[in-house]
Amino acid sequence: MSKRKIKATVICQKMIAADIFDLKLSAKEIACQAAPGQFVDLYCADGSKLLPRPISLCEIDKEEGTLRLVYRIAGAGTAMFSKLKAGDTIDILGPLGNGFTLRDKKAILIGGGIGIPPMLQLAKALKCEKSIVLGYRDEAFLAEEFEQHGTVYMSSDSGIIGVKGTVMDAISACKITGDVIYACGPTPMLRAIQAYALENGIEAQLSLEEHMACGVGACLACVCKSKDIDDHSKVHNKRVCKDGPVFFAEEVEL
């Protein structure tokens, strides 16, 4: 029994940027076995919204038995989660998926938008030299928390924060180098990182997102195109929820 569906208790929740919420949950059974890059499924109390919402783990505190989730309101389900207050409970399932493979090599951590939160637990777990690149639309969040874990570089669409442009623009403008890349963010960003990593022969681990139903690898909703024939269906479709969400750059077609 590695995965569990449990009733988690809300410790606190606050809004940290427009539509971005910071939720801390007491979830001992899940926290004790969770790893950076994994996610949990959150269930709505309202039965009209049946499918769980997959949300990445921003911080894992095994001693306290807590999970920190930082998420964006994307629809009615996450809007409901944003109303949760201390003492409320919520059904969650996890830990799900395969997280990042930690290397003891000079690292570049790249987070784009709501792909930034999972990089925080990874930054805490990696003890090596780190450059951390955070891409925003026009409002920063979590940036100061990354500073204690490495050198932080930022980019934004408008140029209000850091380099104007994408995380790739920040990498070239600031001449950031590393021997392994860990990334989570929108698909166009991951695609650019994938091309950069393959071109430069750098290992890159990419955390993907796709619409999910079961969260455990059964329904085959959240597949991505894979270079090799997958073990499950013997085609070229890896399951983001079960085989991922973290894949090596050369494994997947984005």
Partner 1 sequence: MNLSVDIAGVTLKNPITVASGTFGSGMEYDEFVDLNALGAVTTKGVASVPWPGNPTPRIAETYGGMMNAIGLQNPGIDTFVARDLPFLQKKDTKIIVNVCGKTTEEYVAVVERLASEKVDLLEINVSCPNVKEGGIAFGQDPKALFAITKEIKAKAKQPIIMKLSPNVTDITEMARAAEAAGADALSLINTLTGMKIDVKKRTFAVANKTAGVSGPAIKPIAVRMVYQVANACKLPLIGMGGCMCAEDALEFIMAGASAVAVGTANFHNPYATIEIIEGIKKYMQDNQVDDIRSLIGCVK
Interface ranges with partner 1 (CB under 8 A):
1-3, 5, 43, 47-52, 77, 93, 210-224, 232-237, 242
Alpha-carbon torsion, ordered 89, 94, 95, 97, to 10 deg = -140
Choice between 55 and 119, CB closer to partner 1:
55
- Residue 80 sits at φ, ψ, to 5 deg, of -65, -40
Q: How far is the CB of 21 from partner 1 (least distance, A)?
A: 20
Residues 6+ apart with CB under 8 A from 201: none
Burial class (CB in 10 A: 0-12, 13-18, 19+), 231: exposed
Q: How far is the CB of 147 from partner 1 (least distance, A)?
A: 35
Choice between 108 and 224, CB closer to partner 1:
224
Choice between 18 and 235, CB closer to partner 1:
235
Is the link from the previous residue into 245 a cis peptide, with omega within 30 of 0?
A: yes
Q: How far is CA 199 from CA 6, 52, 109, 202, 204, in A?
A: 44, 37, 18, 8, 11
Choice between 140 and 216, CB closer to partner 1:
216
Choice between 47 and 87, CB closer to partner 1:
47
Q: How far is the CB of 245 from partner 1 (least distance, A)?
A: 14
Q: How far is the CB of 10 from partner 1 (least distance, A)?
A: 20
Q: How far is the CB of 122 from partner 1 (least distance, A)?
A: 25
